[in-house]
Structure 1
């Protein structure tokens, strides 16, 4: 599971803004939303006739593969970088 997300936003004429977000803290803060989201996912699996167990396993595999990922977005002179560790 990812431990830290680093976000850097660069604007022309300004210093880059860096944010370090600990994933565990984010999960704890968003935990009241996670249970309804999980319930909504289970209901969606039932509606679309999908296996709940295989869907949760697939989502967990994607989350487990995220550490080491790096996403760069550039538009004109603006830049946005996300690094997942």
Structure 2
């Protein structure tokens, strides 16, 4: 199942977290015209590098299917970012 909600957190200077919840489906619908351009660019890249387009699509699908439940935390000094996919 593809992710339904992406939560992005950012720690402020005072130590409190600010969270932003982004629903995936509405964002994908708004960005769908760009998705077509990216798909065509990926197809051209597959042809240039002699990679099977079907295999590349299958690999991208497996990656999307594995994303729900993933959690990325990055902390560097006083800056901290958390990205959680549900």
Give TM-score, length-normalised by structure 2: 0.94
Q: Does 1:71 align with 2:72?
A: yes
Q: Which aligned segments of 4 or more residues in structure 1 are displaced greater than 3 angstroms?
A: none
Alignment partner of 1:48 is 2:55:
no
1:8-56 C-alpha deviation (Å, 9 max, x unpaired):
1002216321100000011011101000100000011001111000100
Pairs within 5 Å for 1:5-84: 5-13=6-14, 15-84=16-85
Gaps of 5+ in 2: none
Aligned to 1:2: 3
Give the CA RMSD over aligned residues. Answer: 1.0
Unaligned runs of 5+ in 1: none
Per the normalisation by structure 1, the TM-score is 0.95
Tell me how many residue pairs correspond in the alignment: 85
